[in-house]
Amino acid sequence: ARCQCKVAAMERNNCGYPGISAAECKKIGCCFNNSIPDMPWCFTPKPKKVKKSCPTDVRGRRNCGFPGITAKQCERRGCCFNSHPAGVPWCFYHRVVEE
């Protein structure tokens, strides 16, 4: 999570109050860096980077469609499609992994 706090000084969004302590700032889920005067010391972290992938384990499939859905209909919903094996959802949600 440390890389989420690499925010350019000019792009920092204030996340605390004047004189907030580092411990108090971190407790509310924000980043603290007091090395630059006249810039917010307690600021909002960058959003987490996530990677979407289609689960390879059939047991990890969470249904995103309906029986008989086509690949095109499934992809329009933004989901994964794989018609093998039978008996499991063919249209299923991505797995989202934090990078």
Q: Give yes or no for a contact between 31 and 16, defined as CB atoms under 8 angstroms apart.
A: no
State pLDDT tens for residues 15-30.
989 899 999 999 999 9
Q: Where are the domains of the chain?
A: 3-47, 50-98
pLDDT of residue 98: 76
Q: In 10 A of CB 93, how many CB atoms?
A: 19
State pLDDT tens for residues 64-84.
999 899 999 999 999 999 999
CATH of 50-98, one of 4.10.110.10, 3.50.50.60, 3.40.50.620, 3.40.190.10: 4.10.110.10
State pLDDT tens for residues 9-18.
999 999 989 8
Once rounded to an integer, what is the mean pLDDT over residues 39-66? 91
- Domains 3-47 and 50-98 agree in fold: yes
pLDDT tier, 5 (very low <50, low <70, confident <90, very high otherwise): very high
What is the DSSP-derived secondary structure letter of residue 9?
G
Three-state SS at 39: coil
pLDDT score of 2 more than 90:
no
The CATH superfamily assigned to 3-47 is: Spasmolytic Protein, domain 1 (4.10.110.10)
